[in-house]
């Protein structure tokens, strides 16, 4: 999957892992997409020249599909699931591309220097590499 971020923040993720977004369409969590084009649009209020996309390995765990706006669990899915997935073209959030929100960033760790993939110590989210856009 992919995560769009400011270039200066990419190093912080390599050093200390992901942190939850404060809020979003699906509430708190780490927002990712399987669509590189979508990830390259983030962060929104950041000049294009300062954006990079991080490619990550994700073990999504138990997933719920949030496939309509106003879903009962749209902001509280994390009480029973590890990841919320918004399918493309379902009317949830901006745009028509899919997105994922992973609740637990504490299991994330940079693995860019590790030879083993996926790493045993990082079964959830791990940094693969940076994609400069």
In the chain, how many domains are there? 1
CATH number, domain containing residue 17: 3.90.228.10
pTM: 0.80
- Digit-by-digit pLDDT tens for the chain (133 residues) are 888 888 888 888 877 788 888 889 999 999 999 988 888 888 888 888 888 888 888 888 899 999 999 999 999 999 999 999 999 999 998 778 899 999 987 654 434 434 444 434 333 445 555 554 4
> In the beta sheet, which residues pair with residue 29?
21
The b-or-e profile of 13-30 (16+ CB within 10 A means b, else e) is: bbeebbebeeeebbbbbb
The angle formed by the CA atoms of residues 3, 14 and 113, to the nearest 5 degrees, is: 110
Q: In which domain, by residue range, is 67 found?
A: 2-132
């Amino acid at each position: 999957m992919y995560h769009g971020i400011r270039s200066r923040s990419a190093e912080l993720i390599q050093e200390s892992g992901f942190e939850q977004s404060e809020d979003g369409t699906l509430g708190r969590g780490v927002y990712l997409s399987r669509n590189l084009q979508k990830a390259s649009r983030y962060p929104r209020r950041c000049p294009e020249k300062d954006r990079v996309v991080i490619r990550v390995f994700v073990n999504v765990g138990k997933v719920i599909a949030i496939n309509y706006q106003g879903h009962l669990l749209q902001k509280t899915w994390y009480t029973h699931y590890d990841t919320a997935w918004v399918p493309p073209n379902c009317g949830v959030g901006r745009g028509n591309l899919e997105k994922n929100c992973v609740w637990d960033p504490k299991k994330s760790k940079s693995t860019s220097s590790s030879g083993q993939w996926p790493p045993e110590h990082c079964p959830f989210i791990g940094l693969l590499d940076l994609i400069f856009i």
